[in-house]
């Protein structure tokens, strides 16, 4: 971002880092920015700026110029910036679907991907879940691992639906799945079939194609696949909000923003992406 408040251009950033050895980390969004800044502070690393990619003017033509079949979104903008600028920046992106389908390009060394499909998934473990539920005594499960397995199975189904959409019907907007969830005491159920009927407007052939593609992906998964690599971060947050019966918009936003507050530095610094981040800084 320039001093006049306008977005920086790629050429301006290139010129800037020809004159200085400072580094800037570009991330997809605000919560990612907050987490990375906190991590750097705990690591006692100074003189590194963390910015959202929205501070840079990256036109659609620049994304298309790379010819990498990228969508026009913040993740693609971070990727694009990392390809055009070789010095002075570090890009951090969600891995997204990369564990199911390897990207069709070699990433620059200064472009880092999360160890799991999304940044939120660093919070998907028994210890952190137990911390989250301290404030919800009536929602604390008898067995946290069984609870994680339960929501994990639902989240994988939702992730595979998202992946299938990308491959079979890319232009279709994603539909909220809350109305197809049910809660009985501490048990959550997701009616996938009803969801697909609604989501795909009861188009029988398309529903069959979706189900077949989803099953194909399941068959391709190895038994030792880390579930955090095949769940969507926002779905994880939404499912927790449903379970905890957080319904008000403000309360939902507060819950999502506070999620990273449960992370511990000593655990995070052992994750591969954060190790690489320390090496590059």
pTM of the entire structure?
0.91
Measuring CA to CA, which residue among 86, 87, 94, 79 is closest to residue 22? 87
Q: Would you give the DSSP letter of residue 246? A: -
Fold of 10-119+268-280: Rossmann fold (3.40.50)
Mean pLDDT by 10 residues, the chain (281 residues): 70 80 90 96 94 93 91 95 92 96 92 97 94 90 92 97 94 91 92 96 95 96 92 96 92 90 93 96 87
Task: Give the pLDDT confidence score for residue 154 in this predicted structure.
Answer: 97
* Contact criterion met (CB below 8 Å) for 120 and 34: no
Q: What residues form DSSP beta bridges with 49? A: 24
Measuring CA to CA, which residue among 61, 119, 60, 113 is closest to residue 82? 113
Task: Give the pLDDT confidence score for residue 4 in this predicted structure.
Answer: 59
Task: Give the pLDDT confidence score for residue 78 in this predicted structure.
Answer: 97
Residue extent(s) of CATH 3.40.50 domains in the chain: 10-119+268-280
Task: Give the pLDDT confidence score for residue 1 in this predicted structure.
Answer: 54
Helix (H), strand (E) counts: the chain: 12, 6
- For β-strands 111-113 and 89-93, DSSP reports them as parallel
Q: Which residue has the tokens 């936003």?
A: 253
Tokens of 236: 């994880």
Instruction: Report the alpha-carbon distance of residue 196 to residue 208 in Å, rounded.
Output: 10
């Amino acid at each position: 971002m320039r001093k006049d408040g306008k977005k920086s251009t790629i050429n301006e950033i290139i010129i800037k880092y020809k004159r200085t050895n400072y580094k800037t980390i570009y991330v997809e969004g605000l919560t990612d920015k907050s987490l990375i800044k906190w991590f750097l502070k705990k690591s006692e690393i100074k003189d590194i700026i963390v910015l959202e990619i929205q501070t840079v003017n990256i036109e659609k033509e620049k994304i298309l110029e790379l010819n990498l079949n990228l969508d026009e979104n913040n993740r693609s903008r971070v990727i694009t910036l990392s390809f055009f600028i070789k010095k002075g920046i570090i890009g951090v992106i969600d891995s997204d679907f990369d564990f199911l389908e390897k990207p069709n390009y070699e990433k620059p060394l200064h472009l880092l991907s999360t160890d799991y499909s999304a940044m939120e998934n660093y919070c998907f473990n028994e210890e952190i879940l137990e911390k989250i539920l301290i404030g919800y005594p009536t929602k604390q499960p008898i067995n946290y691992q069984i609870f994680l397995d339960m929501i994990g199975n639902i989240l994988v189904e939702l992730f595979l639906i998202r992946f299938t959409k990308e491959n079979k019907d890319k232009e279709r907007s994603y539909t909220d799945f809350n109305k197809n969830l049910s809660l009985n005491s501490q048990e959550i159920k997701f009616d996938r079939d009803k969801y697909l009927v609604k989501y795909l407007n009861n188009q029988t052939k398309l529903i069959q194609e979706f189900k077949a593609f989803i099953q194909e992906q399941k068959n391709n998964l190895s038994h030792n696949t880390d579930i955090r690599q095949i769940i969507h971060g926002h779905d994880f947050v939404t499912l927790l909000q449903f379970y905890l019966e957080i319904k008000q918009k403000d309360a939902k936003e507060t819950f999502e923003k506070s999620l990273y507050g449960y992370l511990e530095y000593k655990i995070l610094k052992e994750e591969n992406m954060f190790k690489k981040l320390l090496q590059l800084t």
